[in-house]
Structure 1
């Protein structure tokens, strides 16, 4: 079956599943190739990773690849390359399994290390922190990267002036390892970054990613990987049997605490390393604070190919001119004239030879000094490496003496031809005779003109090559006035930008954009980033809307919070408006800390009064004065309350209605028995009937006058009750 490498050229211009157009090859590995492409449906630039077609025939691989793609897409983090889509393009030439990912406009960490060699400490910290943040996000959702290396760390542009660091290839290695292409006897991964347990048992865990990240930090600080060998198995053997050396053994002057952090992250015993990416990140951030390492911008590297050399900036030329190589016949020499020439294809080199130990850094060179590395003639330094598969049983056949010395990790400079020597002219046949004395004056004049022309040409060349450029000075830790003066002295124009910072005091410079050491045209603006101190709780007045308060809090780079349990009643602030902030305005907090917004619940409800025995008019008037809306709830009998007066309320007295302000009023329907004594039976019956009562006459000796009644006069009875009257003739 045709591999991706063989079909790669044919894919250019293809339309995968009638949607994703393949435009150009960006990178190629042993298991996949990455292309620049276009999502024609959304008109969005994307990166398309196409798996080698030999894996597309393995159904278990495709199934697991799809599951892993879904898992990788669940990692929502700014430092993780986003996965947009996954699919299979079916064609007569074979199925192509592909991933559609976010396109990062820039290069890789490999490109940056190849161009600069060892990175200074602030830049190494600026890169390792987002890498560890991405690994921490993956570890939180149960994913292990398994292939952390410079080629999978992308550095690109974000916005107009910003730089972003993103980690790619999440989930891919897990899918390959589970597809039947590996077994317990096979080692899968990039050998220079494999953890010992991946080599010996194939076990991959979060601590294995920590080990690889530790190797990554080692390579950034030294410019080289710790191990190399005649073959990948030799390197794997060293990971299992040797301890990673401290970076300061290669680059003198590194802080001991930084050495200790790298060594602890790369322990052969996995339990002795930080537990996961989040733990390692916390230790890096703690060390940054202890060492007061400034935050710097990250340069975006240009993607390079193995057969190209990097162009050299004017500042690098000046550094090279000031650098004196050690007295060694085997050290790589630097021809300064070559630095100003355009990039040329590298010459094919013979078979690699064993590598001698690196040359020590000269004393007093400091952390950022140029490192001279001894490279034997014909040796090709370690460059970008792909994921490999090796037999684990072959490790047992390796002897310790077969293990090679540390890798250089830098591209080898091409051989510099010796300067040509022109033999002095000797008088003889065909040699011109000396000029006459009369012509000497003319020769002197032309010599002066030549010197003048060369001086002018040299000045013009200096101006266009170096003179019109100025180097951005180091301003971190300086006051605003001092930093502005340093930039002015360097013929640069400072544009002030204040940002909050948890650690740097207000008014102190944090960094410049572009970063220190960058070459900028004289008179061009340089952004001076100055700390405004820790963010303060904004002044949000009572009565402000919740949305406006949230916007003000976020504008101060703090996190707004809402909690119904802390909301308050207020007679002055309308319901739903802001009463106050907690903590109060002006309080200093750390970036992202929570600020609670206390919201008004409106005026505090007053308790329902006891209205028992009052008339309806009195009860309604009192309830309305307290803000309630009274209504008739009906009547009921109460022998203690006169008819028409209040028996009770609903809610009852003392209780506060929630939400609804309505209060029902229940009146008494009791009837007061009238006094009918002395009346004749007929009159008494009429009086009782008019009161809604029934009369029952009991006559003693004939109908006459009423001398008694039951219930007695003044009693409260229900309407329609019977009243017995007693009469005498």
Structure 2
């Protein structure tokens, strides 16, 4: 073991963080198990290599990135607790203090179990993508998503937790200038094509790497393997990632399709970021009915164990530590596995742990840098990359297959005297063999492949003809487009320029032109019309202010749409659905002076609900007839409540009491609810000679009528 790592064991960084045991080391940093003595909390301590710690510009950028990573407060992200510089006469030590996860990595789980079942793979990917989504929202790109950075630890109540480590580290290296446009930085087995070709690293690149991780979890192996990093990177740029079902069984087609889309070479065809990928995973879980299962914590293996430190070495270190503690198996949350290291410097230390027996290495797994010019030279030179195999390949090394023979004529056998016929025969055989070899070489090298031609902006029929002329099978898919005319090809899948097998299907996406407002029938259900509008690529909407009365269309059903059917709009524009408010209300009729029953009958016929209100006195309206309505006559009632209150007159018509006896007159008035006041001339009862109010006058109930009588 290098003395640099052991020398820190027992040290106390900034009089607070005790370095207990070395967990892993790469060319840029070493990771230790430690203790925060102030809070009595187990932590992981990442100490920068002295070569980088002396570079002030690098340290500044690294500290800024550490602060950015610490802003990601998410349960599935390894927490960054602290950052500092321990100053000593022997040099400054730049370090990060992070959460310590007790468990293993996804790499350990795959090595232990091989291909994972679908529910377990989804249970791991959901928290991984949730962590990436949080980073992308914070403006950070992980750049090194791989199974070694997916940590699985023991959670509360016997459960488990999944966390993603090493956020911001690679971005700090890139910002410091340790890579350039001519350098490829990352773990080649998980690099996106754009990272290899241009160095462009964004959220779509993290999606690609996560898609490779999902592929490996489902199959037990990465799609591209090989001992040569350049050959693996070359495959990422030039080959399409196969569907997981080509290696493993019991994988739903929907999951196959999602993995293929997440690993498209064209980053525009992938989910845009971690949140979009997570959303598709969650929808897929519901579609295929995958149950939620706990994530198993991998058992510690030799590759997981803390590097042992002898008691003698510990006694000579700068502090004191319990030997058993130094040798204990611990899984550290932010292990870089190994850390980023330049390829060329002789002094760089890159730790590569051999996989457990029975598993073939998937190629260069450590985060590393390599020259992009090496990739350019590797194009024609890369003739063989070990093929993808099942999750449990043989441990024995496989010899590379022989190179195909060159197209040069074989040397004819030496001529013999008297053997003219044999010479001719052998010459014919040689020509035949040469033709067979040449034809076979052409077929397997290039003859069975076709390059997808550029048919974009061509008419559909011309594009179909061109694809067939190239021995390809055109399939048609249509979609709306704001600027490309109907019947014109928008793009192909696979894209133009890609190599496919002769006879393969190529999907042509043909424009349907701009969306048009669909024709709708009166009285249709609103949800039916909404579906029609969405199928056109437009957005249905409702506006109560535009709804209107219609005598023929039932309330709540569709009357029309706005704009008018046939109007061309841009994709996603708004189309308002106009609903019927039912028949237009009729004005309340004039029912004054009509009897109660007549008024009720007329109002009911117009759709109103008449009710009788408290009777009122009117000197102009005969008792029992309508004085007024509430709402008033001539008004219209909006809404569902069509109640009309009818006010009837309670006036009493004073009868003619002349020549009646006083007793008869009193009885008549009492029958009508009126009171009698008798004024007699000469005493005694007699006949009525006068009255007030006069006959046929209208008075309120219980009014007094004065009558004059004479004997």
TM-score by length of 1: 0.49
Match of 1:223 among 176, 180, 197: 197
1:53 and 1:101, CA in 2 relative to 1: closer, same or farther beyond 3 A? farther
Is the aligned partner of 1:595 residue 2:563?
A: no
Q: Out of 586, 601, 626, which is 2:566 matched to?
A: 586
Equivalent position of 1:613 in the other structure: 593
- Correspondence list, 1:196-211, <5 A: none
- 3-state SS of 1:635 partner: coil
* Partner of residue 74, structure 2: 68
Q: Does 1:352 align with 2:352?
A: no
Structure 1: 5+ residue stretches without partners: 1-27, 31-50, 73-86, 106-130, 153-169, 178-186, 200-216, 227-261, 266-276, 278-299, 318-348, 355-382, 388-403, 420-432
Match of 2:623 among 643, 647, 668: 643
Q: Cα distance 1:587–1:676, how it changes in 2: closer, same or farther (>3 A)?
A: same
Worse overlay, 506-515 or 713-722: 713-722
The question of 1:530 aligning with 2:536 is answered no
The whole-number CA distance in structure 2 between the counterparts of 1:648 and 1:60 is 87
Question: Could you tell me which of 479, 501, 525 is aligned with 1:521?
Answer: 501
Match of 2:546 among 557, 566, 575: 566
Structure-2 separation of matches of 1:526 and 1:195: 44
1:307 to 227, 237, 246: 227
SS of the aligned residue for 2:510 comes to strand
Specify which structure has the bigger relative contact order, considering alpha-carbon pairs within 8 angstroms and separated by 6 or more residues. Answer: 2
Aligned counterparts of 1:683 and 1:574: Cα–Cα separation in 2: 63
Whole-Å separation in 2 of the counterparts to 1:616 and 1:517: 88
1:698 aligns with 2:667: no
Q: 1:566 to 1:104 in 2, by over 3 A?
A: farther
Query: Within the alignment, does 1:547 sit opposite 2:547 as a pair?
Result: no
SS of residue in 1 equivalent to 2:74: helix
Cα distance in structure 2, aligned partners of 1:711 and 1:688: 12
Instruction: Report the Cα offset of residue 438 of structure 1.
Output: 0.9
Q: Alpha-carbon deviation of 1:219?
A: 9.1
- Which among 598, 606, 629 is matched to residue 626 of structure 1? 606
Cα distance, 1:188–1:577 mapped onto 2, change above 3 Å: same
Report how far residue 459 of structure 1 moved. 1.8
Q: 2:196, 2:233 within 8 Å by CA — same for their partners in 1?
A: no
How is 1:277-288 mapped onto 2 (pairs within 5 angstroms)? none
Q: What is the correspondence of 1:477-488 to structure 2 with a 5 Å cutoff?
A: 477-488=457-468
Q: Among residues 687, 692, 703, which one is paired with 1:710 in the alignment?
A: 692
Kindly indicate whether the alpha-carbon contact (under 8 Å) linking 2:141 and 2:171 is maintained by their aligned counterparts in 1.
Answer: yes
Distance 1:350 1:527, change over 3 A: closer
Aligned mates of 1:657, 1:492 — CA distance in 2: 66
Say yes or no: does 1:476 pair with 2:456.
yes
Q: Unaligned regions of 5+ residues in structure 2, if any?
A: 1-23, 45-68, 79-98, 109-119, 147-161, 180-190, 204-214, 217-221, 240-340, 347-363, 384-402, 404-412
Given the superposition, is the C-alpha separation of residues 522 and 188 from structure 1 closer, same or farther in structure 2, using an over 3 Å criterion? closer
Contact 2:42 2:100 in 1 (8 A): no
1:447 alignment partner, SS class = helix
After TM superposition, give the deviation of residue 454 of structure 1 in Å.
Answer: 2.3
- Aligned-residue CA RMSD (Å): 5.4
Establish whether residue 448 from structure 1 lines up as the match of residue 428 from structure 2: yes
Do 1:571 and 1:602's aligned partners in 2 also have CA atoms closer than 8 Å? yes
Q: For 1:92 and 1:194, locate their aligned partners in 2 and report how far apart those are by CA, in whole Å.
A: 30
Alignment correspondent of 1:438: 418
Q: State the shift of 1:695 in Å.
A: 1.1
Instruction: Show the 5 A alignment for 1:262-277.
Output: none
Distance 1:192 1:727 in 2: 125
1:667 matches 2:661 = no
What TM-score do you get using the length of structure 2 for normalisation? 0.50
SS in structure 2 at match of 1:696? strand
SS at match of 1:684: helix
